Amino acid sequence: MGTVPLVVVGAGGFARETVGVVRAGAPGSGWTVRGILDDDPALAGATVAGVPVLGPTSALVDHPDASVVVCVGNPRSFTGRATLVERFGLPADRYATLVHPAATVPEDCRPGAGSVVLAGTVFTADVRVGRHVAVMPSVVLTHDVSVGDFSTFASGVLVGGGVSVGTGAYLGAGAVVREGVRIGEWCMVGAGSVVLRDVPPGEVWVGNPARRLREVRGVEHLLGRSGSASAP
């Protein structure tokens, strides 16, 4: 078992999947899950995925010796990780990076602090993945892809070579992105969409081929605060 305690922030599906990564023996992890923090008062004292809920997110200050991974966010509210990370104000070395042993991630493609990569994912060559990125099962990121902080890849996303994915972008399950395309910051690509051209920041694109549906709501304050893709 690992020797460094890990606190998981969030008690939803992504958090439970992340606990599973630790239990599967993420390479070089050295962590054991101490518990979960979640702001739902109904979870106080409960057990999630066999792990105790230690309290609300504000209780993180009670665990200064623990590594942290923030596992919140869904298509209806995919800015949550960025909001919590900003509020915590922790240095990068407090955050764990977790890669499932059944994922293929070469050493030169290691994701940044706080990122989680689930089983069946494949990074090929010279893939750059930023901080606090969520990569669901069976995602494929091919050569020279660049991914900004706080991005989310739902299961089965396929990304061609040389694609740039902006900070906070959300790519829905089964989306396909053509090589060389730029995905703007804080945008959303719908499930099953086929992206053949650049997606501007802060927009929702859906369909095959993908086209603009509307603006993303609630991200106006985030647009322009970071580059289109951040290095780990």
Q: Which of 61, 94, 127 marks a domain boundary? A: 94
Same domain flag for 109 and 53? no
221 an active-site residue? no
Tens digits of per-residue pLDDT, 69-119?
999 977 777 888 999 999 999 999 999 999 999 999 998 898 999 999 999
CATH number where 25 lies: 3.40.50.20
Residue 221 lies in a domain: no
Residue 5 has pLDDT above 60, yes or no: yes
Are 186 and 205 within 8 A, CB to CB?
Answer: no
Residue 55 lies in a domain: yes
What's residue 1's pLDDT? 44
Which pLDDT band, with edges at 50, 70 and 90, does 26 fall under? low
Q: Which of 33, 66, 94 marks a domain boundary? A: 94
For range 208-220, the mean pLDDT: 90
Residue range of the domain that includes 149: 103-215
Burial class (CB in 10 A: 0-12, 13-18, 19+), 43: middle
Same domain flag for 57 and 129? no
Residue 166 has pLDDT above 60, yes or no: yes
- Find the catalytic residue in 63, 100, 132, 143: 143
Same domain flag for 181 and 80? no
- What is the domain count for the chain? 2
Tens digits of per-residue pLDDT, 182-203?
999 999 999 999 999 999 999 9
Residue 85 lies in a domain: yes
Same domain flag for 189 and 146? yes
Tens digits of per-residue pLDDT, 11-20?
999 999 999 9
Q: Helix or strand or coil: residue 98? A: strand
Which pLDDT band, with edges at 50, 70 and 90, does 29 fall under? low
Phi, psi for residue 32 in degrees, rounded to 5: -125, 140
Residue 229 has pLDDT above 50, yes or no: no
Residue 225 lies in a domain: no
pTM: 0.92
Residue 164 has pLDDT above 90, yes or no: yes
Distance between CA 185 and CA 227 in Å, rounded? Answer: 8
